[in-house]
Amino acid sequence: MNSKLNRRQVLQAGSAILALPWMESLARGQDKAPPKRIINVCTGFGLYGPSFFPAKPGRDYEASEYLQILGDLRNQFTVFSGISHPEIGGDHASESCFLTSAKHPTGPGFRNTVSMDMVASQHVAGATRFPLMTLSTLGGSPLSYTPTGAGIPSLSKPSQIYAKMFLAGSKRDVDKELARLRRGRSMLDRMKERLA
């Protein structure tokens, strides 16, 4: 059954449809809530703990120096502390285990495991344009891994990231965005205007 009424159907039915009581079956379904997303940030040199972690646990914590900037988003994130991955070590090789917690990354024959973000991306596949997007600084080692432990290459150049996010879609959409870029404007300018 078609649940949408078009203009022609309303005109054909005339006043009879206006006399009928409201029928929930013809109502549009509730819009789905946007899918939840996860952002994982690895800081290779770490953070100064007292400026990041709140002094007291619980929902009513006082925001730390670093978290104050995220004040408007407070109800949309959770801070975890006291988490560690045993048998990984403290050097930079441990970055490869940031989202996998695979043990002994510097040991002979080390093989990584699937990363948490890859598992999470499988739950939003089809609900978001990009189920997984991995970004890094230039020369950064992968943080995301497939179920077989293979590293997922990350995007590190702003031009690559922009192209992936905004130069995709139909040929018409891509051409429009390229024309904007030639005029010295971009999708980011339009977003800035909407947020101002």
> Is residue 86 within 8 Å of 112, Cβ to Cβ?
no
What pLDDT shows up at residue 194? 65
pTM score, whole prediction: 0.64
What pLDDT shows up at residue 63? 93
Helices within the chain (DSSP H only): 7-13, 15-19, 49-52, 116-124, 158-166, 171-182, 187-195
What pLDDT shows up at residue 145? 94
Residues pairing with 145 in the sheet: 151
> Is residue 116 within 8 Å of 69, Cβ to Cβ?
no
Residue 185, both tokens: 């404007």
What pLDDT shows up at residue 115? 94
- Phi, psi of 194, rounded to the nearest 5 degrees: -70, -35
Per-residue pLDDT tens, the chain, 196 aa: give them: 445 555 555 444 443 444 444 444 445 556 677 777 888 888 877 788 899 999 988 888 999 999 999 989 988 888 887 777 788 876 777 888 889 989 988 889 889 999 999 999 988 878 888 889 998 887 777 889 999 999 999 988 887 888 888 777 788 887 887 787 778 776 666 666 666 6
* pLDDT, tens digit (0-9, with 9 covering 90-100), for 69-118: 998 998 888 888 777 778 887 677 788 888 998 998 888 988 999 999 99
C-alpha–C-alpha distance, residues 63 and 121, integer Å = 29
Q: HEC profile for 75-118?
A: HHCCCCCCCCCCCCCCCHHHHHHCCCCCCCCCCCCCCCCCCHHH
Helices 187-195, 171-182: crossing angle, 10 deg rounding: 80
From residue 64, alpha-carbon distances to 38, 53, 67, 70, 76 in Å are 21, 6, 5, 10, 16
